[in-house]
Amino acid sequence: MLAGLLVRGLIILIFISGSVVVSYYITRLTAFLIPIARISDIFLWSGTVVLSAILLMGTAYYYVYHGFGSQADIIRRNPAAGKRVVLTFDDGPSDLYTPQILKILAEKKVKATFFLVGKHVERYPDLTRQIADEGHEVGNHTYGHITVPNSAPSQLAGEIVRTNLLILQHAGVYPQFLRPPRGLYDMRMRRIAMLLGQVLVLWSLSSQDWHPRATTEGVIRRVLDRASSGDILLFHDSGSLYSSEGSSRRATVEALGPIIDGLREKGYEIVALEEFIAFSEVG
C-alpha cells in the first residue's frame, strides 16, 4: 500500500519535472526560431511555466477520460465475474410498475439493483423502503433525472447529495452506486462520486425497454440473444423518453420472468451488484 503510493508519487514527480524540462526546451527553441535579439529570462521562464501547465492540464484531462489501464471508478461490465449477470432497473420507484417487478423478483428469488430518481423517492417513500427491505440494492440516479454534462456545478452536487440523503432516510442504506441518467457523465461527476464514496455504474446491455415501440417479445429476444458473461443489464421500472415517468413499462414487467428463466437455462447466475463487482482477475 505504502510502496504503491510512493511509486505513484515518484511517477507524478518524474512526470511533472519531465514536463517542465520539455517545456523549457520548447520555449528556448521557439525563442531561437523567432527573431528575438536576446532571450530574456522572463520570456524563458514564463514560457516554461505556461507550457508545462498546458501539458499537465492536457494530460490530466486525458487521464480522467481514458485512464491508464482499467477505470476502476466506472463499471460497465465485469468479465472476471464468469457466467454471472446483474439486473438493474432505472428511474423508479413507480407505484404502478415497481411493485409488479418486486413480486416477480421475489418469486424467482433474484436480487437486483434499483437506480432511483430522488423526486420519485420523495413521492414513494414506502416503495423505496420496500425495495431495500426485500434485499435489493438501491443506487442513486440523481434527483431530477438531469443531463449531467449540461448541469451547473452546484446543481450537480445538489442532485446527488440530496438523493443520497433521501435514500438514506427512506431505505435506511447509503447508496454505494451512482448511475448518471442516459449514461452521460463527466469529470465532475466522477470526482463527486469519489468524494462521496460511491462507484459509477453504467451497463453493458440495454434491454431497450425504454423505446416507445418496445414489445415484450422484442425485449426478451434482445436480452437472451445478446447477454454474455459479466454483463450488467439495463431495464426501467419508470421513466419515459422525455420526462422522468409516464411511459408504459408493460413490456418490461411481462418480459422479466421469461428473461430470468432464459438466462438461468443458459447457465447464467443472476447476482447482486456488490457481489458481482467483487470478482476480479487477481482474486
User: What does the binding site for Zn ion look like in residue numbers (CB under 5 A)?
Assistant: 90-91, 181
Residue 193: CB minimum distance to Zn ion, A: 16
Q: Give the nearest residue (CB) to Zn ion.
A: 90
Max CA separation in the chain (angstroms) = 84
Residue 82: CB minimum distance to Zn ion, A: 28
Instruction: Kindly list the distances between the CA atom of residue 61 and the CA atoms of 13, 57, 97, 275, in Å, as whole numbers in the listed order.
Output: 18, 6, 41, 32
Residues with Cβ within 8 Å of residue 48, at least 6 apart in sequence: 20, 23, 24, 27
How far is the C-alpha of 105 from the C-alpha of 257, rounded, in Å? 8
Which residue, 19 or 252, has its beta carbon nearer to Zn ion? 252
Q: What angle do CA 227, 267, 97 make, to 5 degrees?
A: 55
How far is the C-alpha of 280 from the C-alpha of 150, rounded, in Å? 34
Among the listed residues 133, 236, 237, 261, the single catalytic one is 236
Residue 182: CB minimum distance to Zn ion, A: 6
Among the listed residues 73, 90, 186, 261, the single catalytic one is 90
Which residue, 78 or 140, has its beta carbon nearer to Zn ion? 140
Which residue, 181 or 230, has its beta carbon nearer to Zn ion? 181
How far is the C-alpha of 269 from the C-alpha of 181, rounded, in Å? 27
Which residue, 91 or 137, has its beta carbon nearer to Zn ion? 91
Residue 117: CB minimum distance to Zn ion, A: 7
90 is catalytic: yes
Residues with Cβ within 8 Å of residue 166, at least 6 apart in sequence: 118, 121, 122, 128, 143
145 is catalytic: no
Active site residues: 90, 236
